[in-house]
Structure 1
Amino acid sequence: MVNEKKISSGFIYFFGAFGGILFGYDIGVMTGALPFLQHDWNLQNNPGAIGWITSSLMFGAIFGGAMAGQLSDRLGRRKMILISSIIFAFGSILAGISPHNGILFMIVARILLGLAVGAASALVPAYMSEMAPARLRGRLSGINQTMIVSGMLLSYIVAYLLKDLPGTMAWRLMLSLAAVPALILFIGVSRLPESPRFLIKNNKMDEARRVLGYIRPNKEQIDSEITQIQETVKEEEKVNQKASWGTLLSNKYRYLVMAGVGVAAFQQFQGANAIFYYIPMIVEKATG
């Protein structure tokens, strides 16, 4: 069990947010790899293939994010993050060893990566919010965002360091090295405890109390939080028995759903993804 030795709250929060590195690295790595890949596979006049290779990650992330919630309710947040890191490492290596002109192979590998990225992007904020006390949740969600942009920065640095390698080796290494942070995440999260909320929901009260003992300063706070989580779980179970997809469109929730979906949609429509993925090609086309 991961709970035999006391684990510092800093270690828990750091590796709880580390999944953001994977998300950021894989957003950014294609920025550096794409110019080399396009020249190696002669894709300059095949924008459809470039678009599919690039966006297939997000296609997989749709399904990874959608499945992660239900699976984590059954298996646990920690276990699902571990599974996501394994899938991510496997997908990274597959992308790096794609056969020459293996466009379909690369797309499938990127979709597999997307499953892991989508799951991690859904699970990491949930895990962090369930581990952190209320007063720290905003700050810790900021750590997750910092991890995402740090992953992007890391991918740019790796691309810069590898740019002088032969073209076919450069992009393959850029993509394959994403397996390294995935391995670090797996090792770190394997030492983390499960979310206390998941443990309480599954009637593992002693384990939940032990986990909260790592990250809450006093016994009274632990007892109070356990009671609060139990009440929330009971309330959710009552709501879930009555809820359906139609509930999302009811007057009570319609505007909340529109706000949540709208914020997520406009984050994509505002165009930053085009910059993340295609800026070297845009600059090359503009300046020669």
Structure 2
Amino acid sequence: MVRVLNVYTISAFVAIGVALIGFDISSMSGVLGTHQYQDFYRNPLGIRQGLITSAMAAGSIAGALSAGALGNRFSRKVTIQGGTVLWCIGSALQSASNGVPMLVCGRVISGICIGLTASLTPTYQSEIAPRKIRGRIVSFQSLAGSLGIMIQYFIQYGCSFIDSEASFRLPWAIQAVPAVVLFVGLFWFPYSPRWLASKDRWEEVLCVLAYLRTPNNDINNPHVLAEYKEIEDQIRFEREIRAQPIRELLSPKMRKRVFLGMAVQIWSQLTGMNVMMYYIVYILQSAGITSFMLASAIQYVINVVMTIPAILWVDKYGRRPALLLGALSMALWLYLIGGLLMQYGQPNPVMNQPSTWLIMDHPAVSRTILACSYLTVGSFAVTWAPVSWIYQAEVVPLRIRVRSVSLSTASNWAFNYLLALTVPPLLRSISWRLFFIFASLNVMAFVHMWFAAPETKQRTLEEIDEIFEHGEPFWKSFTGTKTPSRLEQLAKDIETGKLKIGPNAQSF
């Protein structure tokens, strides 16, 4: 009999914290093309619309930077619960806003929640997951984000037919519902075993591991005891060397790994994906797509569907191939979009419009741009979308993990803020050239990942250290499968009686 609460269901549920990102993306993209929103907020264009959109990212930077300290002190799950309270407050302010300042304020407060949950959700998932399915487990947050985008967009799309202010106020209020569900549900979920170990709650560590790894809560299971031993050794090592997380973040040994986590998150923004999500309405209008609201909805469905293969295969085919192939494929589609706009487009004869460059009377070209947009989104969803969140939590050890993930997530939101703020005026000023810029950035991401990103699949979080200290160039794709797993060897020693493990065996 399969237990209702297991690693899969717990990880899927806590991923609601990342689904809130999706709710924000489509809560904004879904209203950009509606006259109700434009009339009430006096047709915000260029930098004014950029300020509204980027307000969420501004709050997220603050939330991400504080996630490390709060997550270590109050635990991952309690801090996520605190974030959901902020999300509800922000949603209330947005839905009741009487102008741009109040709307921006609400989005900043909601953004603080996003910074907290986006940092701590993948950390929590990676710390409760068995090594062989860790990628799949952390990928749930990518699927949740895609589902959040799609669900909120369809809510927004349906409400767009309401000929009143309720067309945007109602969806902004409804987005508080998943936050309430997450806040309540987390009371029944376990703490991260690695956080419990950092607080010397060793009996709870063993109980949580037994609960997560065995159907009958068997604390004497060899694999449970082996994982317990790994966590114990890691904590002992950190205390023996008197690790100081803040200083170690910048140490020569860890600097490269911390920067790698940050770089993957930065590149995930510079691929241009959030531009395709936030401002897809502007892009499709520029391409000459008349039914742009429906076309946008199809894109969000593709985003969800293409996330599913990533969940199934990321632990089989690995992180590195996904990063490399994803960057190349997105570069190709974006170059095509930019080239078609350059060749067949012309200046927009109508003033005060978001798009100053239009394709008119070229239906085949318009459909090709639409297809390239779908292919860009699909390429991202199956590659960078899950791996960028998996990687940042994998490549650093426990003692600095939460702070490193906070920095990585803050980097993501810093570039999200920059792009959300600048893309509307850039679309108006350089139009098709913007796609060439993002395509070239994808090529640069490919080159960087080729030399800097090792394969980390199917290793315990404690074994990731060995990969970075292995000495082999990362471009040779060291996969971590050339030597037997230390965890498997420990389990074998425990099973044969060579090693005794238990919560009373601590020496510190």
Q: Following the alignment from structure 2 to structure 1, what is the Cα–Cα distance between the partners of residues 102 and 133?
A: 43
1:203 and 2:203 aligned: no
Q: How does 1:81-230 map to 2 (within 5 A)?
A: 81-99=80-98, 102-217=99-214, 218=218, 219-230=221-232
Equivalent AA in structure 2 for residue 234 of structure 1: R
**SS where residue 281 of structure 2 aligns?**
helix
Q: Paired residues, what number?
A: 280
Any stretches of 5+ residues in structure 2 without a counterpart?
291-508
- Any idea what the Cα deviations from partners look like across 1:67-86, whole Å, max 9, x if unmatched? 11211100011101111111
1:246 Cα deviation from its structure 2 partner = 7.9
Q: Report the Cα distance in structure 2 between the residues aligned to 1:120 and 1:18, rounded to whole angstroms.
A: 9
How far apart, CA to CA, are the structure 2 residues paired with 1:276 and 1:265?
16
CA distance in 1, matches of 2:189, 2:76: 11
Measure the CA separation in 2 of the matches of 1:24 and 1:87: 16
Q: Deviations over 1:138-162 (max 9, x none)?
A: 1111211111111111111111221
1:59 maps to 58
Gaps of 5+ in 1: none
The alignment's C-alpha RMSD in Å is: 2.3
Deviation at 1:7, TM superposition (A): 3.9
Change (3 A) 1:212 1:91: same
Kept after mapping to 2: 8 A contact 1:85/1:186: yes
- Correspondence for 1:76: 75
Q: Which amino acid aligns with 1:256?
A: R
| TM-score between the two structures when normalised by the length of structure 2 | 0.52
1:64 counterpart letter in structure 2: G
- Give the aligned residue type for 1:22: L
Superposed displacement of residue 190, structure 1: 1.9
Q: Which moved more, 1:28-37 or 1:108-117?
A: 28-37
Instruction: Indicate the residue corresponding to 2:320 in structure 1.
Output: none
Kept in 2: contact 1:33–1:175 (CA 8 A):
no
Deviation string for 1:208-266 (max 9, x for gaps)?
A: 2222222112522222222211221233345564565586263x344334433222222
How far apart, in 2, do the equivalents of 1:180 and 1:258 lie? 36
Q: Deviations over 1:8-58 (max 9, x none)?
A: 4443222132222112111222111233423321124x4222111101111
Partner of 1:42: 42
Q: 1:43 to 1:6 in 2, by over 3 A?
A: closer
Match in the other structure for 1:265:
266
Q: Is the 2:91–2:110 Cα contact (8 Å) retained in structure 1? A: yes
Compare 224-233 and 241-250 and name the one that shifted more.
241-250
Contact map agreement 1:32 1:156 (CA 8 A) in 2: yes
Q: 1:143 to 1:212 in 2, by over 3 A?
A: same
Percentage identity across aligned positions? 29
In structure 2, C-alpha distance between the alignment counterparts of 1:143 and 1:61, rounded to whole Å: 21
Q: SS in structure 1 opposite 2:43?
A: coil
CA distance in 2 between counterparts of 1:243 and 1:119 reads 19
Matches of residues 225-264 of structure 1 in structure 2 within 5 Å? Answer: 225-238=227-240, 241=243, 244-245=246-247, 248=250, 250=252, 252-264=253-265
Structure 1 residue 96: deviation in Å?
0.8
Alignment match, 2:459: none
Change (3 A) 1:167 1:270: farther
Q: Distance in 1 between matches of 2:222 and 2:154?
A: 47
SS of aligned partner of 1:203: coil
The normalised TM-score by structure 1 is 0.88
Which whole-Å CA distance do the structure 2 matches of 1:114 and 1:169 have between them?
Answer: 23
Checking the alignment, whether the CA contact within 8 Å between 1:25 and 1:178 is kept in structure 2 is yes
Q: Structure 2 CA distance, aligned partners of 1:138 and 1:283?
A: 34
Distance 2:17 2:194 in 1: 20
